[in-house]
Amino acid sequence: MFNQLQPVPTDPILGLMTEYKADTNPKKVDLSVGVYKNEVGNTPVLAAVKKAEEYRFNNEQSKAYLGMAGDVKFNELMTNLLFGESDAVNSGRVKTAQTPGGTGALRVAAEFIARCNPSAKIWVTNPTWANHISIFNAAGLQVEEFPYFDFETMGLKFDQTIEALNKVPSGDIVLLHACCHNPSGMDLNIQQWQTVADIAKKQGFTILVDSAYQGFGHGLNEDAAGLRLLASQVDEMIVCSSCSKNFGLYRDRVGAISILGTSSAKAEVAFSVILNVVRAIYSMPPAHGADIVATILSSKELTALWHTELDEMRTRINGLRSFVVNKFKEKNVPGNFDFIANQNGMFSFLGIDKEYITTLKNDYSIYIVGSSRVSIAGVNDSNADYLAESLAKVLNK
């Protein structure tokens, strides 16, 4: 049976990770992988996480299954973190289940949507995180794109976004990024979120919000403002969230899927379908990471420590954006990169051609995704000069 199989191409980003690890150049720079890195290039375990893990080690009483919905306390705390003190939560219209990471949440959402309406189309921003398309296609759903990022102005195509959304029919799904849009770094402002909410109500489509970077843009509450506005106005919504970035729990795979229903009763029905989907995919989520998050959010001391560490990560990323722009100017990199300083989160496009990206990798050991998307968190004081000087050489050829 296996003889008929053909090799599947390696994921571009994972392929670059492999090449980077094998590269012996001491000056090599990795701007491809989407993880937070500190000044020395490490992805540290947060102090709040360490303390929570110590507590868990000393107090864990059982290794029994969690159940299909996962850690009940985690689900409650994540609901509050995402939705805040909202009427939707207080009225019981929101139900949350723990998942294996944000990707797991998206896959559960995909299967849930297929149960609701197998002919539904999923509308995603152009561009979006590449795995969005793979996840929904794997569930047998058709994916369409709508205009979002303008590669000429390095800003939003919001007029075109609105024009496209006004044509999305009832029964379809529109996927939006809560904050720190991956891969462009361009987010909707609150007025634009309101416009989207108005169109969703008029057209009757359902919004799926991917919240993978809460706290990395402007703050925990600020980054959830669009999501919370929608929850206050639309009848139904799906939210997929991740604790990989803001808690630094990448390899522990901690995420959640939340369903907003028209009523508590309707939300319960939808949640029962979610749990049935979970049962068929992975049965039960793992305990460790969710318990760490629940321990932190249940403790005033650990929550305060986590807030401090999250603020430090966000401040570093936002500072790096201006730092990179100034360094490019200092080293006479041709072009205007001011847009980088005006974006949010870890990612941005450089807007350079693939031939330059290939040269940067082959001649200078600088690893960038083919679309020119870079992870700003990969820049630090020790590699910024080399990065800017190399980019200037390549673009000036």
Our CA dihedral for 42, 48, 54, 59, rounded to 10 degrees, sits at -140
Closest CA to 129 of 213, 197, 206: 213
Our CA dihedral for 234, 238, 242, 246, rounded to 10 degrees, sits at 0
Would residue 123 show up in a list of annotated catalytic residues for this protein?
A: no
Residue 53 CB coordination number (10 Å)? 17
Token readout for 361 is: 């990798």
Residue among 210, 223, 252, 291 flagged as catalytic = 210
According to DSSP, the residues that pair with 375 across neighbouring strands are: 347
Residue among 129, 157, 172, 223 flagged as catalytic = 129
**Quick check: bond before 7 cis, omega within 30?**
no
Distance CA 299, CA 370 (A): 43
43 CB-near residues (< 8 Å, 6+ apart)? 35, 36, 37, 248, 250
Closest CA to 235 of 167, 165, 170, 163: 170
Task: Report which DSSP code applies to 30.
Answer: E
Residue among 28, 95, 121, 245 flagged as catalytic = 245
On whether the CB atoms of residues 132 and 177 are closer than 8 A, the answer is no
As annotated, the active-site residues are: 129, 210, 245
